[in-house]
Amino acid sequence: MNSDQSDLPIRVIERSLGPDSVINDDSRYSVDGRPIPVAVRPKNIDDLSAILTESHAQDVKVMPVGGGTRLSLGNAAQTPDIALDTTSLNQPVSINSADLTATFEAGMTLDSVQSILAENNQFLAMDAALSNNATIGGILASGTSGPLKWQYGNPRDLVLGMKVVQADGSITKSGGQVVKNVSGYDMARLHVGGLGSLGVVCEVSFKLTPKPANEKTVLAAFDNSKSCGDVALSIFNGQVTPLALNVFDRGVLSATGMSNIEGEQYLAVRLGGRPRGLARMVDETIQASRAGGGTTIEIVDGGSALDLWRRISDFGWVDQPPPEVVLRVSLVPNQVQTYIDAIKASLADNAPSFVASPGYGNVMVFWQSGNTNNKLESSGNAIRALRGGAVSLGGSAIIERCPVELKSEFDVWGEAGDSIEIMRRMKQQYDPKGILNPGRFIGRI
Amino acid sequence: MDSALKELRQSVGDAYVIDTPEDLIVFEYDGAVDKATPLAVVIPETAQQVSECVKVARRHELPIVARGAGTGLSGGAIAEHGGVVIAMTRMTKILEVDTENRIAVVEPGVVNLDLSTHVAPLGLYYAPDPSSQRACTIGGNVAENSGGPHCLAYGVTTNHVLGMEVVLADGTIQWIGGRTRESVGFDLRGILVGSEGTLAIVTKVVVRLLTKPESVKTLLAIFKDLDDASAAVSGIIGAGIVPAALEMMDDLCIQAAEASVHAGYPEGAGAVLLVEVDGITESVEEEVEAIEEVCNRFRPIEIRTATDAEERERLWAGRKGVLGALGRLAPNYLLVDGTVPRTKLVEVLSKIRQMSVDTGYPIANLLHAGDGNLHPSVLFDERIPGDTKRALEIGGEILELCVEVGGVLSGEHGIGLEKQDHMPLMFNESDLAVMAKLKPSFATEDSLNPGKVFPTGATCGDVRQAAAIARVGPGAYV
């Protein structure tokens, strides 16, 4: 699009859906601090397809957006011409509770999905920050996951099938609505964690999970972080099967509202099951924590436990102002505590907060620059230390958030190695004109 | 061709290139399909040798087919267009077991069960357990995204593979994914698992291992018919239980199993349900109690439970031996692999029974009931002219029925050659075109396992009569 065609995005929307569909100058639509002047919120998949068909024809750049909770993720790139808001695609398509499957439009928030499924005592075994706003399409596209990944894996493992609008506007599907299926390539994989750069996710079929009959959470404080990490790893390698297990620092504990417990590092273990099995798992977790050097050990249940887990999941995303630097780190399980201790040492003057899922090998790191004269420089140094620490332990780190000014210094996604060539060809195949989130994904593709 | 063979010999050594017709015969088949003869079979020992063989084949414009144990049930390992078969028979090393991180690094030719056996003393196992696990290889499992009776609770291969070393179509050796649960960029690992050898050749696999559960309990419930058994399945799921395995067999299977392995099923048994629960002892006990309660609601003829390994094996014997046992009922069977929503099982099974009545062909039903994966087996005799064609038609009608009720063509066997021409039942041209773009993304130039997965445009019955017809015998698995 040339600069003398500044009204082209508006014409694209007018031509595909009529003038009433143009949303002008809505401050909700921005990326990296730059407003996206034109937005559209299609009411159904056909309308979304019409927008992309026309955008593709006119070479207009489009940024798909759900609840807008993770827009900080992505490389700095040219400002998109149109924000394509999916939140009106917000209806359940089919709920098959007896089959443990359901299909939803991608603009539904995770909370609204969960409240529908709760009627049948079931749930979608994923969680995410700001789940009252975060849409399932957005969560999948950004590849994020919450505490439940300990037991249920990445949300991608719950996806059975998908309907996607391709960059050229064609509507395609893959997978199915059954829990076991090897019919054709597993195309949904391209879109989970793909940041909407190869297509726009419109409908998702999921595997559902029965809610555990009962739940209890064990919360333990440790004076020594390594002891805490060892207990987490011993649970990972034992018979107890938590729904979620996180270790975190004092800052996170404060945010959960349980700040009265003294300690250096904390362990929260979410357990579920029928009464006798649950009781045994709670006992074993308490014993392991005590034997491993846990000082204060508490059992949290009911609404307090749900609140605790929501606050852990939301940590770093609800604070005002939010932490300037957020990293999503992947490691093998037994390097998680090593990493935590290393970054605390290397950033001793201003240690980050963290929420880690050791058995899964994930650490979310949150860092604030604090009182310094040169916030940008210190943020840059912190990012290098945090990412360098992960890479030196054989892991990787995605920069989920950082000062916009620093984005040009990093590929926020990290290093894809030789695979980047395949990824570039994928972009070429699926979005040859580069209209979907151009420049924002790995390798600035 | 002679120069290609010469270069292949240089790549892997004279002893590891097979090209005489009598030696190639064993590579003409896989688990259940028609036959095709490759130009040569090479048996490399390293990724480097695989890479060299791929480069030689490419230079000579020969198709390349990777092959594990050849137990596949959809023709995935057949050299449909000739060319070079790369057999993984020598790449059978378990390279590393990392107990603390519960990771193993293996070569693609490692037999599935051998991995679990190898790590058993460490209290670990590899979860995906296709019924052919005594023979099938991890590399083949990756290609087909194999499942197994226990995937209901623990997922299929894609949920257990962290990374792979692969050889791409141009011979480049590359790592996809790694040792961590997450890797950066597009999920190429997830794309490659289940891509049926059409995008890359796997030369190392990093898999997750699970901790062996302290308690396993198996329950066998015998019902008078499939309706009661199916109702029990719904009841179990409705009670919030996702068992480790949930298997079902109908009366024909029961007769066959009874005659061959003497499982001791009582008179009048119309359906057998096999349920396995694992985990910590207390949870297992509670779940088994709940399952018994559900089963008792549906007039079971008998319920048996087993806790120790030997008793469990006895309960499983009928189920595991059933496919081989079908040989007692007919010389051939056509095995179908559709999956339907669990709630459609009763409807679909009753329609299949009606098909059997209408056509006169017996159809035995064994199914992974928990996940709705059906294995109707159409019994026939290939020696009778027209019988094979008719059986294939019935198989096609069953697949149509599965898709019609919201199901899919293949739950665990893959599309391969067998079901490629049924793909349009599920996917339209745009869907297939989008899938097909993965080939140029991996720059395969269609040299890897060509002619699979995607429809040929012809009707299946005409193209390959013999496709999908299992040769009956104890070596057959599902």
pLDDT at B33 over 60: no
pLDDT at A269 over 60: yes
Contact between A176 and A236 under an 8 Å Cβ cutoff? The reply is no
**Which DSSP string do the residues of A289-324 spell out, in sequence order?**
HHHTTEEEEEEE-HHHHHHHHHHHHHTTTSSSSPPS
Under CATH, what is the fold of the domain B94-211? 3.30.465
Pick A281's closest partner by Cβ from B176, B280, B373. B280
| β strands within B251-406, DSSP E | 271-279, 302-306, 332-335, 363-368, 373-380
Q: What is the mean pLDDT of chain B?
A: 91
Alpha-carbon gap: A241 to the closest alpha carbon of chain B (Å): 8
**Which DSSP string do the residues of B84-113 spell out, in sequence order?**
EEEE-TT---EEEEETTTTEEEE-TTSBHH
pLDDT at B471 over 70: no
Q: What integer is the mean pLDDT of B316-322?
A: 85
Q: What integer is the mean pLDDT of A82-109?
A: 97
pLDDT tens, position by position, A279-315: 999 999 999 999 999 999 999 999 999 999 999 999 9
Flag the least confident range among A129-133, B206-210, B293-297, B319-323: B319-323
Alpha-carbon gap: A415 to the closest alpha carbon of chain B (Å): 7
Flag the least confident range among A208-222, B63-77, B241-255, B257-271: B257-271
Q: How confident is the model at residue B476 (pLDDT cuts 50, 70, 90)?
A: very low
Residue range(s) occupied by CATH 3.30.465.10 in chain B: 94-211
CA nearest neighbour of B271 among B257, B281, B289: B257
The pLDDT value given to residue A111: 98
Q: How confident is the model at residue B34 (pLDDT cuts 50, 70, 90)?
A: low
Pick A233's closest partner by Cβ from B100, B179, B281. B100
Is there a contact between A332 and B419 if contact means CB atoms under 8 Å apart? no
Pick B211's closest partner by Cβ from A178, A239, A430. A239
Is there a contact between A275 and B286 if contact means CB atoms under 8 Å apart? yes
Q: How confident is the model at residue B459 (pLDDT cuts 50, 70, 90)?
A: very low
Are A94-210 and A214-304 equal in CATH topology? no
Report chain B residues whose CB lies below 8 A from the CB of A239: 211, 213-214, 279-280
Report chain B residues whose CB lies below 8 A from the CB of A285: none
Chain A interface includes B410 (CB < 8 A): yes
CATH number attached to the domain at B2-87: 3.30.43.10
Chain B interface includes A435 (CB < 8 A): no
Residue in B with minimal Cα distance to A143: B182
Chain B interface includes A200 (CB < 8 A): no
pLDDT tens, position by position, A335-375: 999 999 999 999 998 999 999 999 999 999 999 988 778 99
CATH number attached to the domain at A3-87+431-438: 3.30.43.10
Pick A277's closest partner by Cβ from B103, B156, B280. B280
The domain defined by A214-304 carries CATH number 3.30.70.2190: yes
Q: How confident is the model at residue B32 (pLDDT cuts 50, 70, 90)?
A: low
Alpha-carbon gap: B406 to the closest alpha carbon of chain A (Å): 7
The pLDDT value given to residue A210: 96
Q: Which amino acid, B21? A: P
Is there a contact between A415 and B184 if contact means CB atoms under 8 Å apart? yes
Is there a contact between B174 and A418 if contact means CB atoms under 8 Å apart? yes
Residue range(s) occupied by CATH 3.30.43.10 in chain B: 2-87
Class of domain A325-402: alpha beta
Flag the least confident range among B53-57, B228-232, B290-294, B417-421: B417-421
Under CATH, what is the fold of the domain A94-210? 3.30.465
pLDDT tens, position by position, B203-222: 999 999 999 999 999 999 99
Q: Which two tokens stand for residue A421?
A: 């060539």
Is there a contact between B155 and A157 if contact means CB atoms under 8 Å apart? yes
Residue range(s) occupied by CATH 3.30.70.2190 in chain B: 214-328
Dihedral sign for Cα B251, B372, B283, B126, please. Answer: positive
Q: Find residue B379's DSSP bridge partners.
A: B333
Chain A interface includes B468 (CB < 8 A): no
**Which DSSP string do the residues of A45-110 spell out, in sequence order?**
HHHHHHHHHHHHHHT--EEEESS-TTTT-S---PPPSEEEE-TT---EEEEEGGGTEEEEETTSBH
Which of the four CATH numbers 3.40.50.2300, 3.90.1150.10, 3.40.50.720, 3.30.70.2190 does domain B214-328 have? 3.30.70.2190
Chain B interface includes A46 (CB < 8 A): no
Flag the least confident range among A203-212, B411-420, B468-477: B468-477
Is there a contact between A182 and B159 if contact means CB atoms under 8 Å apart? no
Question: Which ipTM was obtained for this model?
Answer: 0.96
Q: How far is CA A85 from CA A6, A45, A57, A95, A131, in A?
A: 20, 12, 20, 24, 17
Sequence ranges of the domains in chain A? 3-87+431-438, 94-210, 214-304, 325-402
pLDDT at B464 over 80: no
Contact between A17 and A41 under an 8 Å Cβ cutoff? The reply is no
Class of domain B330-478: alpha beta
